[in-house]
Amino acid sequence: MLDYKKTIEECSKLTDSDKNLFGNINPESAARMKMQNRFQTGIDIAKYTASIMREDMDAYDKDPSLYTQSLGCWHGFIGQQKMISIKKHFGTNKRNYLYLSGWMIAALRSEFGPLPDQSMHEKTSVASLINELYTFLRQADARELGGLFRELDAAEGDAKTAIQEKIDNFQTHVVPIIADIDAGFGNEEATYLMAKQMIEAGACCIQIENQVSDEKQCGHQDGKVTVPHSDFLAKINAVRYAFLELGVDDGVIVARTDSLGAGLTQRIAITHEIGDLGDQYNSFLDLEEVSDKDMKHGDVCINYHGKLVRPKRLPSNLYQFKKGTGEERCILDSITSLQNGADLIWIETEKPHIGQIGAMMDEIKKVIPNAKLVYNNSPSFNWTLNFRQQVFDKMTEKGQDTSAYEREALMDEKYDDTELGKEADERIRTFQADAAKEAGIFHHLITLPTYHTAALSTDNLAKEYFGEKGMLGYVQGVQRKEIREGIACVKHQNMAGSDMGDDHKEYFAGDAALKASGKDNTMNQF
């Protein structure tokens, strides 16, 4: 909570203390600038947002309807406009975060140009985007408060008091960012160094996955390779040490497992006794019992529970897991991570199926009752087809007539207005609330939504503006909608900081200030 009068009083005491230094400084102007920039450093942001996440996690434990959500944002402006929109439509940013996707970093923010999601982008790119996002969110604070200050100057009587209350109760646009560190970009020391940069930029929550750094793949593509638990836990430790070193003691770590879709491992785990963690990891390997005579030149064999066995090794020098063990490995991965430093878990799945997710979470909760999941509502899923097929399968189980539907062709537009299509859409609509209640999902995110919306909106504009509609394509499809829907960005000079710049010029130069506002400012048309 801000306190406008108190901040002015504090600035007045300072300016009164030395007239030589502060004689030209207006305490109220200084107070306004301080209130417009409440977060001085990224560490300030990380501490503030970490406490928010912890409060939200506690609230969810008591009531699963209080889940949290985010969208992946690839630019500071996109993140800023998202939070401005949420405040406009819902009056609060509570339980709404930002997600920083490694996929979008690779595809959109690498100096190499567009890259696949394989951790080939520069290590500093993630921290740079975190810093950029918070720069834009802080600017959104300054812009909105600046508008309130101008309203305050123009108001009289009770109206003035009402506006001051708005200032004192101002809700910041600064919210938690869940930041993707991929597989840590190297060994645990590299993970620690990168985590430090991310936290210093403002990250209160870091998501790390159990793939190998040098073989990392997108979670929804083939070829994923996991590491033994000891390797992954060392990186979780590295992130925790980074948080502690920087004084963010309640920083949040999300441990992601890609084991459901990963059929390979880089190496065999070290094990000292039957049943230990390494032994459990190795139990999922595709093992073949052999004798001395069966061994070939170059074979790698191990003593497994008193038997000589040969793990299946591929030409890539990677070892293969047994088919159908993915869910078991996910459960073990999640329990192990939560028992060894992680706060939240992430299970990357191949489809959005509450039953599948919930079944794994039920097993995890037998050991960790308050286990909470971060879930990727991925654009890589065909949501329409998946949910229509789920409804189709349910109808089949119940013995209902499905002769009007072709399961593999359910994406067809002709099914949009059918009972099946409508039920599937309703399940999609309630997915977040249902999954939060039934599958332990604390945080719902969409990794790449603004990648797709940027492409879609650009396509719509290009089709109209360069086509028969010409300028009407822009006016009708963009500007008219902006004006009528109250999109703040329609006043683009204001959004870019022109009015704030005028305020500052007036503070610094008084009547001599050359300001951009006035009757001839074209922004007055809006």
- Which residues carry out catalysis? 218
Q: What is the DSSP letter of 475?
A: I
With residue 494 as reference, give the H or E element that holds it. helix 492-495
To the nearest 10 degrees (0 to 180), the angle between helices 498-509 and 124-154 is: 70
Question: What are residue 174's phi and psi, to 5 degrees?
Answer: -75, 115
Q: How far apart are CA 322 and CA 161, in angstroms?
A: 69
Give pairs for 24-30: CB < 8 Å, separation 24+.
26/507, 29/507
Q: How far apart are CA 335 and CA 331, in angstroms?
A: 6
Q: In residues, how long is the chain?
A: 526
User: Is 469 in contact with 476 (CB distance < 8 Å)?
Assistant: yes
CA angle 171, 173, 176 (to 5 degrees): 110
Q: How far apart are CA 114 and CA 122, in angstroms?
A: 12
- Taking alpha carbons only, the member of 253, 184, 237, 238 closest to residue 213 is 184
User: Is 7 in contact with 16 (CB distance < 8 Å)?
Assistant: no
Q: How far apart are CA 264 and CA 255, in angstroms?
A: 19
Q: How far apart are CA 341 and CA 339, in angstroms?
A: 6
Q: How far apart are CA 31 and CA 149, in angstroms?
A: 11
User: Is 391 in contact with 420 (CB distance < 8 Å)?
Assistant: yes
- Taking alpha carbons only, the member of 478, 272, 438 closest to residue 355 is 438
CA distances from 160 to 149, 154, 163, 167, 169 (A): 10, 8, 5, 11, 14
- 45 residue type, one letter: I
Q: How far apart are CA 100 and CA 104, in angstroms?
A: 8
CA angle 338, 381, 213 (to 5 degrees): 50
Residues forming beta bridges with residue 313, ordered by sequence position = 319
Q: How many helices (H) and strands (E) are present in the chain, helices listed first?
A: 21, 14
Residues forming beta bridges with residue 321, ordered by sequence position = 285
